[in-house]
Amino acid sequence: MRRVGVCSWSLAPSGATELAERVRAAGLDAVQLALGPLELDGQGERSVTGTARILDGAGIEILSGMFAPVGEDYSTLETIRVTGGLVPDETWERNREGAQRVSRIAQALGLDLVTFHAGFLGELDHGRRERTLDRLRVVADTFAERGVRLALETGQETATELAGALSELAHPNLGINFDPANLILYGNGDPIEALELLAPHVLQFHIKDALPSDVAGAWGREVVAGTGDVDWRRFFALAASRAPDADFVIEREAGADRVADIRAAHELIDRHGGAR
């Protein structure tokens, strides 16, 4: 059965207790958890044990995890092109070690899915692309050894480029976290056309909306779900027919009232009969 949750980083909590309070304030009972800040040992709010205990006590399910590569700079489209994902040589060893650590945390929490941005796979020259795909194989293997699937975020390349990379990798542990807004924010194509192509690989959805930039090479603008350029009627119809078991996780990375905006996204899902 499809479930509905929210990204923990969208709520900017100081710890697990505040996260539980804000998830509940948003009217939800499930979360995708940023795993990087957690500690494997200990009982505190930022430890795996403490976080699991607090969320479970609040009746909140952890649907999946998120792995954020070190060194990423999202200030502009140009800075993230240079620093994003597994592409930079100077951060690869730290990110390889980070993937090992995060995979252990995911396993300890009993998760079977972690998502992340691999980098701009479609814009690399042949040598850098091959090197990045090799690194992606290493990371996918790392998570597979822990029984955790890995889903690549959409947006930093076109759907055709991403599908091509997945086909070339042919790795059984790799899929997609489909975020329709990211394709608009990065200026990389129509979300509905992208979903039609990528649906067989989708393991999870992010529910987020955006408007395109009027300036070439600049970010689009994230907006409250239902007020941007995503065709939600067609999106939910495709999700229902092509990826009926992939969870919906609301992501909101802008706005002054995140809880209200997340509630609005949840209402959008309900209006379209998107989940339980």
Q: What is the pLDDT of residues 185-232, one digit of tens each?
A: 999 999 999 999 999 999 999 999 999 999 888 899 999 999 999 999
What average pLDDT does the segment 138-166 reach?
97
pLDDT digits (tens, 9 = 90+) for 15-73: 999 999 999 999 999 999 999 999 988 888 899 999 999 999 999 999 999 999 999 99
Structure tokens at 236: 């939910």
Cα-trace Rg, the chain: 18
CA terminus-to-terminus distance, the chain: 8
Q: How far apart are CA 147 and CA 129, in angstroms?
A: 27
Q: Is residue 255 part of a domain?
A: yes
Q: Is residue 153 part of a domain?
A: yes
Q: Is residue 83 part of a domain?
A: yes
Cα separations in angstroms, 34 against 69, 138, 268: 12, 21, 24
Cα separations in angstroms, 144 against 30, 172, 229: 24, 9, 36
**Angle in degrees, CA 152, 230, 205, rounded to 5:** 30
Q: Is residue 276 part of a domain?
A: no
Can you state the angle between helices 48-57 and 16-25, rounded to 10 degrees?
30
Q: Is residue 137 part of a domain?
A: yes
Nearest to 32 by CA among 225, 190, 179: 179
What pLDDT is stored for residue 226 in this prediction? Answer: 97
- Cβ–Cβ under 8 Å, residues 153 and 182: yes
Q: How far apart are CA 33 and CA 55, in angstroms?
A: 11
Q: Please give the residue range of the domain that contains residue 191.
A: 4-271
- Domain with residue 207: its CATH number is 3.20.20.150
Q: How far apart are CA 223 and CA 218, in angstroms?
A: 16
Question: In whole numbers, what is the pLDDT of the chain averaged over residues?
Answer: 95
Counted domains in the chain: 1
Query: At residue 111, does pLDDT exceed 90?
Result: yes
Q: How far apart are CA 220 and CA 208, in angstroms?
A: 13
**Angle in degrees, CA 63, 68, 74, rounded to 5:** 125
